[in-house]
Amino acid sequence: MRALILSILISILFVFQSSFFSHLQFFGTRPDLILGMVVAVAITAGPREGALAGLLGGFLADLLRGNFIGLSIPGKVLVGLAVGFIPKRVYADNFLVPIFTTFLAVVCDQLIFLLLGQSFGIGQSVWISMRRFVLLSACYTALLAPIIAKLVKDLYHEFQVRGWYKEQRML
């Protein structure tokens, strides 16, 4: 059930990212809401949930895009895992930390995507893409991170209440 709800949430975020934020661009870039959610899940529920969210997020995003299916998965899974391993006390009551983490997460995710993409014939220059799009998109996503984090935190609280999730990470 948790995976299903996360999948629905990812789909909704994809739709918002592709439609709503297409009209609300920041210097020609859109936020990576799915990665924002992966980071938020990892912060809230640890590396395993972060990796699961990364797997679902990467896979659904690729399916909805329609090509290079699976290429987004490694970056998002790795980011979900890495962020999930950061001790939770680091995030306590400091909204700047999720913002900064999300910024770095977007940069890492896109870097992995672009580097892997080079192997599969995506001719996009890593440096140019990073400079023109990724950094701006990372800033945009990072600014929205507190909202996504609150949403995911409330969602996981609801999962716990309904018994769909049992907190596993070390505090």
Q: Which residues bind another protein (CB under 8 A)?
A: 11-12, 14-16, 18-20, 23, 60, 62-64, 66-71, 73-74, 116, 120-121
Shortest separation between residue 74's beta carbon and another protein, angstroms: 7
- The b/e string for 107-143 (b: 16+ C-beta within 10 A; e otherwise) is bbbbebbbebbeeeebeeebeebeeebbbbbbbbbbe
Shortest separation between residue 62's beta carbon and another protein, angstroms: 8
Closest to 138 (Cα-Cα) out of 102, 112, 86: 102
State which residue, 20 or 27, has the beta carbon closest to another protein: 20
State which residue, 1 or 63, has the beta carbon closest to another protein: 63
Q: Facing residues of 90 across strands?
A: none
**Residues 38, 79 contacting (CB under 8 angstroms):** yes
State which residue, 14 or 156, has the beta carbon closest to another protein: 14
State which residue, 43 or 82, has the beta carbon closest to another protein: 82
Neighbours of 23 (CB within 10 A): 7
Q: CB-hemisphere CA count at 13 Å for 107?
A: 14
Shortest separation between residue 151's beta carbon and another protein, angstroms: 17
Shortest separation between residue 114's beta carbon and another protein, angstroms: 14
